[in-house]
Amino acid sequence: MEHEHGLHLRPAADFVRLAAKYQSVVKVANLTRGGDREASARSLLEITALGINQGHTIRLRATGEDAEAAVQALADLIRSNFGAGGQ
């Protein structure tokens, strides 16, 4: 995660909105903090509870019809530093 403040409310909200556009079930884990807990990519509360900060490594895992597209779109959002909405 490269966003200066990690996955705080604004970028997390962008992440959740994008995840909700897909049929697949997408899960996120914070590997830097052990990765033992997964959060729904559609839950702002669960995502922020993972405590993802700048420099942390996360895992995206999806199951369903459009799983590959969902993971790719979310990874692209992260790589783009969440665009203007995450600033």
CATH number of the domain within which 24 lies:
3.30.1340.10
- Where are the extended beta strands (E) located within the chain? 25-30, 38-40, 58-63
26-76 per-position pLDDT tens digit: 999 999 999 999 999 999 999 999 999 988 999 999 999 999 999 999 999
Residue 6 confidence (pLDDT): 54
Q: Which domain holds residue 70?
A: 9-80
| 87 assigned to some structural domain | no
Rounded CA-CA distance 20/48 in Å is: 16
| Residues 14/19/22/27 CA torsion (nearest 10 deg) | 170
| 62 assigned to some structural domain | yes
Total domain count for the chain? 1
| 22 assigned to some structural domain | yes
| 24 assigned to some structural domain | yes
| 1 assigned to some structural domain | no
Hey, which residues are catalytic here? 8
Strands 38-40 and 25-30: what pairing?
Answer: antiparallel
Residue 85 confidence (pLDDT): 45
Q: Is the pLDDT of residue 82 over 60?
A: yes
